[in-house]
Amino acid sequence: MKQYIEPFSHATEIGKALEKSILLTTKRGDEVNTMTIGWGFLGIMWGKPMFMALVRESRYTKQFLDENGEFTINVPLGTDEKEILAYCGTRSGRDVDKIKDMKLTLEEPDVISVPGIREFPLTLECRTVYKQGMEEAGIPQSVLDRHYPVKTIKRDIHTLYYGEILSSYIIS
């Protein structure tokens, strides 16, 4: 069962959860993948409610987002999901099935093709309306040094996905 909500009425919960991390889930064909994110923004853009998510270029999830353009934001409420967040933040969907491994329960979506996750009940269904790759030249050197250390020839910079929130609810 779903309790429909206004996303901004839960902005505090979403913001506090982001400090610890939340899940971003997407889908390609029949394959669902989720990843831990700790950076994101809830706001208004072009008169519409948006969740803006940052995904690194190297992430398997980015391939799904670029093909499908839809994602859910999955926020825990009142529970400590450290184990799930740690697992989904340190394993790649290229190598493991995180949904199966963590025994996560998928919830049928309302508007988009990507399911929510029952264990992270506050759900935002989003469709990408714009995306923008971050440019290294515009990032302060102190931020580059801390968050984008050079491990190869090129830094693993984020793409910002502007997801219009099409449905929001709490799964019960």
Q: Could you tell me which residues are beta bridge partners of residue 13?
A: none
Name the pTM for this structure. 0.93
Q: Classify residue 31 by its DSSP letter.
A: E
- The phi, psi pair for 154, rounded to 5°, reads -120, 140
C-alpha span between 156 and 162 (Å, rounded) = 19
Q: Looking at residue 148, what is its pLDDT?
A: 87
Segment 41-48 mean pLDDT: 97
* Mean pLDDT for all residues in the chain: 94
Segment 134-140 mean pLDDT: 89
Per-domain residue ranges for the chain? 2-171
pLDDT tens, residue by residue, 77-132: 987 799 999 999 999 999 999 999 999 999 999 999 999 999 999 999 999 999 99
User: Which CATH topology does 2-171 take?
Assistant: Pnp Oxidase; Chain A (2.30.110)
The type of residue at 146 is: R
